[in-house]
Structure 1
Amino acid sequence: MAQSPGVDEPTKEYPAVDESAPPAAAPPADSTPPVDAQPPADAPRGMGAFARVLIFTGVVFALIVAMCLGLRAINVLPGFDNPFSGKTTDRSQPVLLQSMRDLSRYVAADGNFQVIVDLQEDKENVPDFLLNKRTLFVGAGTVEAYVDFGQLSTSALSLDEANKTATIKLPPPQLGQAALDMQRSYVVAEERGLLNRIGDAFSNNPNQQQRVYQSAQQRITEAARSSGLEQRAQENTEKMLQSLFGRLGYTTVTVEFASP
């Protein structure tokens, strides 16, 4: 089959160029590039490389920490400490002795008490969600009942050697101040209004619970007065003195308490 001339034949020579024609004018330097011009291809490639390096570094660090913790858990590295473990620093000062006194009290009885203090501080005509402070506190404390032998006079003791009798006159039992046991006392709940929370954020008052503690001590002391603790202290003191003088050979021991 005959082929047309010039089809599938290699070009034998370039087309003629008219050298007398003027060269095409170059575009001006300040010409605006086309709108659809694409940014360089390597611009986003740099940001992607940095992100990949950052992610790779984080993954390697996490694997190292997990491997160290795992080896510590199976006792492969018994001496390795957790780098994120908590640390407690005690900067307390030495104890300062402020005073010392001699006591001549005979503690005849004590009582353990528990009280629930529900203390609320608010303002009239102000909503509680704005200004309110309510604390629910469980206070546990101890009250001691004692007889002060330091107040005895020379005439408080009368002895009859012939009849082996002894008469002792004592002051009435007294109650000490309630001592809170902080290991058994705790705050159950605490409510604060919005303004209270803002104020606490800008001020630090370490004695804000002092009023709650004082209220608990006062209530426990009042409860001890009506609990019969003083009467029990009187009976225990009388038994102790009768036993003591009985061992000294006195057959009759009378203990008299003054009126409160």
Structure 2
Amino acid sequence: MRIAIFNQKGGVGKTTTALNLGAALNRSGNPPLLIDLDPQGHLSSIHGKAPLDANQSLFSFFQEQHTLRELEVDWEHIGRLIPAHQQLIKVDSIFGKGPAILNKLRHGLDALEESQPDRQCLIDCCPYIGVLALNAIFACDCLIIPVSTDYLSLQAADHITRTLQVLEPVMKRRVNRYYLLTRFDRRRRMSDDVRNKLRERYGDDVLDTVISENVTVAESPSLNQDVFRHNAGSTGAHDYRNLLGELVERGSLPVTMR
């Protein structure tokens, strides 16, 4: 199963969700592959020891210098990572937007999964629609859209939904998607307002799990740790365990929990 994590608004928890959902999968006995598809490389920087050379990053895959398998690096306590590089920002201008480049990641993952069909894949996307994000959308089985509890993030979710409606006739399928509320503060009325509006618009596509505003979630990336390693008893760790459980229950992560 391939899950892309995408929102066109920054600061909503895309990378944090990729990191901690990956860690939750690993703790359940299902170490995933994480792909950093963002030229900013935040996920790769959290790894701490990912290669810094563009030729050892996902950019090399787009240049057809390496296969995805050749670019994987081990990530202790998580699984495996294919790192990003700032050179990814050039993909749009170098390769254009033809079908071959838009489907490149999908075809690469098809080949990679022939030998590891049961491994889950999480894709951390860049916060804008371009060749990179389109590669993720075309490749994924499911899209998680993190929505922080503010009105601008709600507008961004609406924009993504309209974008998907435009793309789906081209893809000839509906992209399965879930809206995940992040930075949820139960003391603020706005959090409940955003949740209610999201449910009115998208119904069952809104996940029941919310990711609470939590110090441990915010601090852990700066320590090159996931939320479980930083504080497994924290509210944030509890929320990400619940997220994994809900995705498994909904059938979007076909894994056996331990």
- Structure 2 length normalisation: TM-score? 0.18
| Structure holding more helix per residue | 2
Taking CA–CA contacts closer than 8 Å with sequence separation of 6 or more, which of the two structures ends up with the larger relative contact order?
Answer: 2
- Structure 1 length normalisation: TM-score? 0.18
- The structure having more radius of gyration, on CA atoms, is 1
